[in-house]
Structure 1
Amino acid sequence: MEWFRYLVSFLLLIHLSLAAIRMSQPKILLPFHPRIETNFTLEATDGCFQWSSSRPDLVRIDPVGEFSIKNGENCSLHANVIAHTKHSLRASATVYARDILTGQSVRCDVIIDKIQTIEIVYTTTRLYLEDAPELFKLRAHDQHGSTFSSIEHFPYEWKLLNAAIVDEQSVKKPAIGALDATKVIRILRLTDSSYEMSETVRNLESHGSLSYEILLEGLRTGSAFVQAELIDNDLYHGIRTRSVRLSVSANVQFHPSTDVYLLPYSRLAFRLFQIKRQESTDITDLPSTRMLYEVKLVNDDAGHLDDQALLFTATDHADEQSRVELIDRNMKAIDNDTYEPISLMIRIVNIGYLSAITNSTRPWIFQVGAYYLVTVEMFDVNGRKIYPTDNLDLSASIPNESHKTCLSLKSLYQNGTQYVLRPNCPGRFELEFRLNGMKVHDLIETLVTASTKQWFEVYLPLVAQPKRVLLPERTGVKDLKTPYCPIKVLGGSGDYTFTSRDTSVVTVSSTGDLMEQTSLNSTTVDIFDKKSPELNASVS
């Protein structure tokens, strides 16, 4: 079988040679260190390669996952590029990858230099209580500001610093009464989490060191600084990051939580929700909420806010906007200079058009006797969705009198935004949706109106006959497949698909004829209406 393995490998190489070969990185920058070897994994694609270095004294190559093709030649798709120079001066070399089948080569320039600065890279500096920890990483630069391709082989010291006046490289006098940083934030290793990590990081953490990436978790409301330093007693002594200020607070959000578009005269009641581990709790009416949080309308162009009831009332005309802020009083007191409250924009727009959607499997294809949820949505002339406030006056009706005996329609909410529809007869029917206006002090403001109509189709459920079929074993082989038993289907649109779950037992034609039984067993034939998979039946 050795010849077969060579044949497969040879055919694979022929296939790969038809595409242009590529190197994953055209240039990499590796940090110099007299004792720690740093490496980076390169990948060359669309071939199998032999790797070499123009300066083996500076850069060593270690192929990854080598396999033999023929004549004792080895090749691989990956290689570790290892910087092992003993001189601290900036140096460079070239790594070549030669495809052993075509002879084509690709290259990667490798530069080795000293680390000049390091910085902390993050997604956010705001941590939330009882939430997943945030990932923080380090990035290093040389004297020219270029970014190193890998710094994961070095151990680092991560520090949590009390809230203080901090300059670029040192912490000055701590703030009076500042909370201990380790009681506000906790450092977690990646091995204590479900995060993916390299073997280098795993090895560093297993020996008690921290790597270039860590997790930070909020413990209690407050703020603190995080700083990292490269652990090295000679060459890189004193290279540390700037301190980054972090804040920890409860994750309290508006509802609605995004920018909203409202019609004139709308009244929007805000709610406050606290999020813990993906679960949200309404805290609007808790006595402590008003002590801890303030909802503030920054400007009243779009309307006014009752800050006690958290009720926003829109102005009577469009093309206005206001910003609403949710202020955490504790965080503002702790960090007034840099604290940024949560905010959203309210924009007043005119009605453009109405649209209705349904939860049916296929839009507006229904089955007799089933229940469906119909939702009315509003949009402005630019297609932006308008938020449905409680004082809307929407309605749905059955305009054709002859249709009313076949349709049951019930409103779920007073503003008329959702309905339960139950069709009782097959056929084609119509619904009409209308925005009558806005309820203002028990009156209907009719300056805001719109309407739309929606046709839909209703079909009887599918019924397959017979429900169960018992077929004799086929003992002879025939040139032509003759139907054993036709499946008769009632209901639906009349256009069906038939599928056997196990074609080794029985096959079925496109018209529902059971064709061949090839083994002794049982299976099921599924029938679906082409109009909607909700209309279905089966035969065993």
Structure 2
Amino acid sequence: MRLPRRGWPPPLLLPFLLLLGPARPFKLNVPKVLLPFSRALHVPFVLEAEGGCTCIYSHILVTGHLLRCDIIVDMINNIEIISRTREIYVEDSPLELTVRALDVEGNTFSSLSGMTFEWSIAKDDDMEGLELSSKIRILKYSEAEYSPPDYIVEMEQAEKQGDRILVSGIKTGAAIIKVRIQEPTYKKVAAALVRLLVLENIFLIPSYDIYLLVGAYIKYQVAKIVQGKITGKFFF
């Protein structure tokens, strides 16, 4: 285990689990774990044993195999918001946003479980005069048909926000989502921002290529989809 650099406060005890299954596992699922330093809580990470191993961490008496995983504790240098897309549709399924934390060398932390974050809708300079919540809103997992990790469920029950949230589009336009670490230890770590576009989910009918003779014409329909259902058609 590598402890924080000289001058940093000593870390709290780090809870991590080594799961040994019945199928004679000889390898850990990760060779190295990077966990954030925290004064307020323990950030857990689960180690699972698999087949084959080259490092030393735990001695299995029955087989004689040795397992190892380096546990590194370091300070968070900056955070980012990870999203599978930057575009969401009005009244469509929510989009999940997650936090990725990195150390000063750019390494990604293995877990942020249980750490408290503050998510908010930030002001967009290009959309002055509009209410911050007019385009997008932040949802709890309990408000949507999603199954988050257990620690997120516990945090929501305690009225806290974790390293992941859901957002839903209300009206077309642009919105900025902002997140920062709430723990005082990281008050100097800059907040992360992501700009999302909220669009109408519309399409043409027919939506395939059309080949016409000279002088022929065809009427198109514009349809709108809301929550997987076609809600309206317009001719032109």
Shorter-normalised TM range: 0.7 to 0.9
Tell whether 2:139 aligns with 1:188.
yes
Shift of 1:36: 1.6
Tell whether 2:62 aligns with 1:101.
yes
CA contact (8 A) 1:251 1:274 kept: yes
Look up the match of 2:198.
248
When the two structures are superposed, what TM-score results if normalisation uses the length of structure 1? 0.36
**Aligned equivalent of 2:148, options 178, 190, 197:** 197
Q: Percent sequence identity over matched residues?
A: 29
Q: Distance in 2 between matches of 1:191 and 1:29?
A: 30
* Unmatched tracts of structure 2, length 5 or more: 1-20
Cα deviation per residue 1:133-161 (whole Å; 9 max; x = unaligned)? 11111100000011001012211111102
* Unmatched tracts of structure 1, length 5 or more: 1-11, 48-93, 166-174, 286-308, 310-540
Tell whether 2:235 aligns with 1:274.
no
Q: Distance in 1 between matches of 2:194 and 2:58?
A: 42
Cα deviation per residue 1:351-380 (whole Å; 9 max; x = unaligned)? xxxxxxxxxxxxxxxxxxxxxxxxxxxxxx
Look up the match of 1:209.
160
Look up the match of 1:237.
187
For the structure 1 residues 282 and 111, does the alpha-carbon distance in structure 2 shift closer, same or farther, using more than 3 Å as the test?
Answer: same
Q: Secondary structure at the match of 2:112?
A: coil
Cα deviation per residue 1:10-65 (whole Å; 9 max; x = unaligned)? xx96xx34xx6221111111001123211100100359xxxxxxxxxxxxxxxxxx
Q: Distance in 2 between matches of 1:181 and 1:95?
A: 52
Look up the match of 2:15.
none
Tell whether 2:31 aligns with 1:29.
no
Cα deviation per residue 1:191-248 (whole Å; 9 max; x = unaligned)? 3222222222122111111111000011222322111000022x20032433222222
Cα deviation per residue 1:411-438 (whole Å; 9 max; x = unaligned)? xxxxxxxxxxxxxxxxxxxxxxxxxxxx
Q: What is the root-mean-square deviation in Å for CA atoms of aligned residues? A: 2.7
Query: 1:61-210 maps to which residues of 2 (within 5 A)?
Result: 96-164=57-125, 175-177=127-129, 179-210=130-161
Q: Which runs of 4+ in 1 moved over 6 A?
A: none
Q: Distance in 2 between matches of 1:208 and 1:220?
A: 27
Shift of 1:111: 1.1
CA contact (8 A) 2:180 2:192 kept: no
When the two structures are superposed, what TM-score results if normalisation uses the length of structure 2? 0.79
Shift of 1:255: 3.6
Higher RCO structure (Cα 8 Å, ≥6 apart):
2
Larger-Rg structure:
1
Size of the alignment, in residue pairs? 212
Query: 1:348-427 maps to which residues of 2 (within 5 A)?
Result: none
Q: Distance in 2 between matches of 1:255 and 1:96?
A: 61
